Amino acid sequence: MRRVIGFSVVELMLSLLLASIIITALIQHYSSGKRQYLLSQNLLKKDYDLQMITDLLRYSIRQAGFTPCASLDWLRVRDGRDGFDPPLAISANADSHHALSIARMSEDFSRVVRVLSPTRLLVDADNSFRVNKPHIIADCFSAEIVIITHVQPVARQLEITINKPLYFAYTEPAYLGAWLEERFYVQKNSHGEPALFYQLDHPEELSNQIHSLNTQLLENRKGLMAHLVLGLVDRKPVALDAVVRVS
């Protein structure tokens, strides 16, 4: 008679117990690894977002007051819009302890070919111009903000009509470009949390990890420098310096 070799009930139960212990350990290891992975990814995303924001701040500060010939601070400047004071290239905490305002001409500008009349300009058709939006005309001595009311293509050029007669007389080279007013500021978001916002045409939330923005404008050998301190949630504040372009 052949003897049947198998596992006893005790051996089976021990095997199941060991298997369950191993599986539990593997699941815990997987869960721990997944948590660490998600935490690392979250930290990387925060670092990436912070780097993008600091790059944007530095770029905007360097471009403050830009016109093709000279910075706004070197020009006679007039704002042709009703109720507006002459603009500043950069201002810190003008209306808040957590705000930075920057004004400049867009890098997409066109050469003014000829001033046809106090309210009409002929410019190169390098760029599109938005009707009823602020633009700035500037040469190497003067600049003023105007509102475009009509754009008419003329051969390879554009005839631009503005809402008010020009205040200054312009000499070559003169340029026309969109007027940009950027603003970085901290206020509460839709969740009631302090967050950093950026506004050009309309406000948008950049990060709820930044809960404060403090800015100082300092003069040094390189010129005007902006010193910023970004207050972060659960992390040390980040400081950055950027020099405003001179011309």
Residue-wise pLDDT for 55-98, tens only, equals 999 999 999 999 999 999 899 999 998 878 888 899 987 666 67
The number of folded domains in the chain is 1
The residues facing 188 across adjacent strands are: 194
Contacts of 9 (CB under 8 A, 6+ apart): none
Omega into 237 within 30° of 0, i.e. cis? no
At 38 the pLDDT is 58
Residue 14 lies in a domain: no
Residue 52 lies in a domain: no
Residue 20 lies in a domain: no
At 84 the pLDDT is 83
At 92 the pLDDT is 87
Which three-class secondary structure state does DSSP give residue 35? helix
At 6 the pLDDT is 57
Residue 147 lies in a domain: yes
Residue 200 lies in a domain: yes
At 2 the pLDDT is 55
Residue 75 lies in a domain: yes
Instruction: Report the b/e string of 41-64 with b at 16+ CB within 10 A.
Output: eeeeebeeebeebbeebbebbebb
Domain limits for position 219: 60-243
Tokens read off for 192: 């009631």
d(CA 228, CA 214): 6
Which of 204, 191, 216 minimizes the C-alpha distance to 56?
Answer: 204
At 158 the pLDDT is 96
Residue 32 lies in a domain: no
Contact (CB, 8 A) for 71 and 245: yes
d(CA 138, CA 112): 9
pLDDT tens, the chain, 247 aa long: 555 555 666 667 777 777 777 777 777 776 666 667 556 566 667 788 889 999 999 999 999 999 999 999 899 999 998 878 888 899 987 666 678 999 999 999 999 999 999 999 999 988 889 999 999 999 999 999 999 999 999 988 999 999 999 999 999 999 999 999 999 999 999 999 999 999 998 999 999 999 999 988 888 887 888 999 999 988 899 999 998 876 5
Q: What percent of the chain has pLDDT over 90?
A: 60
At 124 the pLDDT is 94
Residue 36 lies in a domain: no
